Amino acid sequence: MSSVTGINKTFVVLAALFVVLGGIKLASEIVVPFILAAFIAIICNPMLRFLARFKIPKGIAIVIIIALVILVGASIGGLVGQSVNDFTQQLPAYKQELQEKFVWLASTAANYNILLDKQQLISLLDPNKLIDVAANMLTGFGGVMANSFLILLIVVFMLFEAPAIGHKVHLALDDPEMKMKEIDRFLDSINSYLAIKTVVSLATGVVASTLLWALNVDYFILWGVVAFLLNYIPNIGSIIAALPPVLLALVTQGPLVSGLVAAGYLCINTLMGNIIEPRFMGRGLGLSTLVVFLSLIFWGWLLGTVGMLLSVPLTMVVKIALENSEDGKWLAILLGSEQPSEPS
What is d(CA 262, CA 242) in angstroms, rounded to the nearest whole number?
7
pLDDT tens across the length of the chain (344 residues):
555 565 666 677 677 778 888 888 887 778 888 888 888 888 888 788 888 888 888 888 888 988 888 887 777 777 777 777 777 777 777 777 777 776 776 677 666 666 666 566 556 555 556 556 656 666 656 556 667 778 888 888 888 877 666 666 666 655 555 555 666 666 677 777 777 888 888 899 999 999 999 999 988 888 898 888 888 876 677 888 888 888 888 888 888 898 999 999 999 988 887 788 777 765 445 677 778 788 888 888 888 777 877 787 788 778 777 776 666 677 777 777 655 544 44
Give me the pLDDT at residue 343, please: 45
pLDDT digits (tens, 9 = 90+) for 232-274: 876 677 888 888 888 888 888 888 898 999 999 999 988 887 7
Q: Which long-range contacts (CB under 8 A, 24 or more apart) does 38-42 make?
A: 38/154, 38/158, 39/194, 39/310, 39/313, 40/69, 40/151, 40/155, 41/154, 41/155, 41/158, 41/159, 41/162, 42/190, 42/191, 42/194
All structural domains of the chain with their residue ranges: 26-335
Give me the pLDDT at residue 215, please: 92
What is d(CA 273, CA 264) in angstroms, rounded to the nearest whole number?
14
Average pLDDT, the chain: 75
Give me the pLDDT at residue 252, please: 84
170, 181 Cβ separation under 8 angstroms: no
What is d(CA 94, CA 74) in angstroms, rounded to the nearest whole number?
28
- Closest C-alpha to 147, from 40, 240, 254, 251: 40
Give me the pLDDT at residue 234, please: 67
73, 36 Cβ separation under 8 angstroms: no
Give me the pLDDT at residue 210, please: 94
Residue type, 87: F
Burial profile 27-48: b = 16 or more Cβ within 10 angstroms, e = fewer? ebeebbbebbbbbbbbbbbebb
